Structure 1
Amino acid sequence: MKLIIAGASGFVATEVIRQSLSMPSINSVIALARRPVSAPDNLAPGADTSKLQSAVVKDYDEYSEEVKKHFANADACIWSVAITPSKSKAFDFEVVRKVCQTNTIIGMKAMIEARGNSTTPFRFLYMSGVAAERDQTKTPTHMPQYSLMRGETETQVLALAKEYKDVEAAVAKPGLITGPGKYMVSIMATVLSWAGIVPNIGVAETAAAMLNQVENGFEKEPLMNDDLAKIGSEILNKAKE
């Protein structure tokens, strides 16, 4: 499988790359980012770094012919490009919308059109969040404008996939993602989860679940936090056996 990881320099994407380099079923990993991406640290024994190719873009709404060549014959993409809720407050909202929504659709179209006449489905997994709201008639209690925009993006991704007979799409909606070095996030995640406000999930489980779904097909849509945790835990536990 040839996998594109968009937003490849990010926290979750780095773990996706780390795990994918150890998966025999994945023969090519395209790390799409605005700066060169190299193999992460702490690779598992037997990881094959030769599978990793770095594709650099100026922004996620411009794709040169050189970058498009990386998309040829791609089988899947995990799209993790976004401005997170906490960081979004530092930007004008139209900038946030451009990064989270406009660039997602432009990037998805570029991949679909550049992959060529493949005989296998192209699976596009859009990484959103548990609070994103697709129903535009609702008013979420926390950051309503942001939540509705992310939910609208989910709908647009699914609608675009339906325009092509060989494209499948789903949305991953994790809660707070914890992991090594994310001490404050871990504390916050514990408190919010205990209070029943926001669930949490480990970065390793998140990555394992998303990789499983783009490789084997989407079990459901959307993939909520509990779904990702269940799938990811099963994959990681099986790897330890």
Structure 2
Amino acid sequence: MHVILTGATGLVGGAALHHCLASPKVTHGQLSILSRRQFTLPSGDNFDTKKAKIIVHTDYESYPDDVTKLLKGAESCIWAQGISQTEVKKDQYIRITYDYPLAAAKAFSSLSETGKFNFIYISGEGADPTERTFTLFGKIKGRAEAALLALPSTPGFGALRVFNVRPGFVDPSGTTLHRPRSIGMGILERTVVPLARALMPSQVSPTGVLSKVLVDLATGDGDPLPEGVGIEAGGRTIRSSAVRILGRL
């Protein structure tokens, strides 16, 4: 299956990249990575880097013909691009967290030749589609979730099969392939994540488990998941507890 990936140089996107390179579900030459810059693909005995191509793209609100031609035939997208609300101004955070994925989902909906396109949005625990939360993160992530789930019933976007995935504390332990994006993130990973791992494990999302779930959703049939623990919005929203269950943790 042809998968589009964004955010491949980040923690969650990087984990998804590693899993895609190792997974037989993502076939040769069928991993399109949208990135603002070129970067070196990870190497490893289980990684098939020949299946990946990096497409340098800087305007995530616009997808001209020269870009969509390269993506033609793709059947899914793992949207792992994102940034902390503490690292940018409010208007930029809204643009990255809400405007970018909405623009991408609309542009990608017609790429597949099968009539279905899976769009996997990386949200987070605390996202609130009602926007009643006090946090900017919760409001805007929730706003994006709601807007994405509404798209398939909008004329012209019926091919979309949307899943909102809400990781908890993302745990990179066990991998040597990640470097924290900032000093603050490094401190968080060394202090808060181990504490959460001990006190509330259901709210911790190990990168290996999370990436498996993301790739499984991207390469699946797009049908809603059965209702169960941590599965909400008619089988379209997957919370941290469900990520652990689906990842067999």
TM-score, normalising length: structure 1: 0.84
Q: Does 1:231 align with 2:246?
A: yes
Equivalence for 2:216: 212
Equivalence for 1:3: 3
Report the Cα distance in structure 1 between the residues aligned to 2:153 and 2:42, rounded to whole angstroms: 35
- Asked whether the equivalents of residues 189 and 199 of structure 1 are also in contact (C-alpha less than 8 Å), the reply is no
- Asked whether the equivalents of residues 202 and 240 of structure 2 are also in contact (C-alpha less than 8 Å), the reply is no
Report the Cα distance in structure 2 between the residues aligned to 1:50 and 1:155, rounded to whole angstroms: 36
Counterpart of 2:161 (choices 165, 168, 173) is 168
TM-aligned CA deviation for residue 149 of structure 1: 1.3
Equivalence for 2:133: 139
- Asked whether the equivalents of residues 169 and 196 of structure 2 are also in contact (C-alpha less than 8 Å), the reply is no
Find the residue that maps to 1:21 and give its secondary structure. Answer: helix
The amino acid of 1:155's aligned partner reads A
Find the residue that maps to 2:219 and give its secondary structure. Answer: helix
TM-aligned CA deviation for residue 196 of structure 1: 4.5
Equivalence for 2:40: 38
Find the residue that maps to 2:109 and give its secondary structure. Answer: helix
Structure 1 stretches lacking a partner, 5+ long: 235-241
Report the Cα distance in structure 2 between the residues aligned to 1:108 and 1:38, rounded to whole angstroms: 27
- Asked whether the equivalents of residues 76 and 124 of structure 1 are also in contact (C-alpha less than 8 Å), the reply is yes
TM-aligned CA deviation for residue 169 of structure 1: 0.3
Report the Cα distance in structure 2 between the residues aligned to 1:44 and 1:125, rounded to whole angstroms: 27
Length, aligned pairs only: 223
Report the Cα distance in structure 2 between the residues aligned to 1:123 and 1:105, rounded to whole angstroms: 14
Kindly indicate whether structure 1 or structure 2 has the higher relative contact order, using CA contacts under 8 Å at least 6 residues apart: 2
Root-mean-square deviation (CA, aligned residues, Å) is 2.2
Equivalence for 1:67: 67
- Asked whether the equivalents of residues 124 and 170 of structure 1 are also in contact (C-alpha less than 8 Å), the reply is yes
Equivalence for 2:124: 129
Structure 2 stretches lacking a partner, 5+ long: 181-185, 226-234
- Asked whether the equivalents of residues 21 and 51 of structure 1 are also in contact (C-alpha less than 8 Å), the reply is yes
| Cα distance change of structure 1 residues 178 and 119 upon mapping to structure 2, 3 Å threshold | same
Counterpart of 1:105 (choices 102, 105, 112) is 102
Report the Cα distance in structure 2 between the residues aligned to 1:60 and 1:14, rounded to whole angstroms: 19
* Deviations 1:33-88 (CA, angstroms, capped at 9, x unpaired): 111243213x343x32111011111131232322211221111000011112xxx2
Equivalence for 1:154: 145
Q: How does 1:46-57 map to 2 (within 5 A)?
A: 47-57=47-57
The amino acid of 1:32's aligned partner reads L
The range that moved more, 99-108 or 209-218, is 209-218
Moved over 4 A (4+): 193-198
Equivalence for 2:231: none
Equivalence for 1:178: 171
The amino acid of 2:236's aligned partner reads E
- Asked whether the equivalents of residues 176 and 198 of structure 1 are also in contact (C-alpha less than 8 Å), the reply is no
Report the Cα distance in structure 1 between the residues aligned to 2:67 and 2:49, rounded to whole angstroms: 20
Equivalence for 1:16: 16
TM-aligned CA deviation for residue 188 of structure 1: 0.8
* Deviations 1:195-235 (CA, angstroms, capped at 9, x unpaired): 5598111111110111111212352321111111122236x
| Cα distance change of structure 1 residues 193 and 178 upon mapping to structure 2, 3 Å threshold | closer
TM-score, normalising length: structure 2: 0.81
Report the Cα distance in structure 2 between the residues aligned to 1:15 and 1:197, rounded to whole angstroms: 20
Counterpart of 2:92 (choices 92, 95, 118) is 95
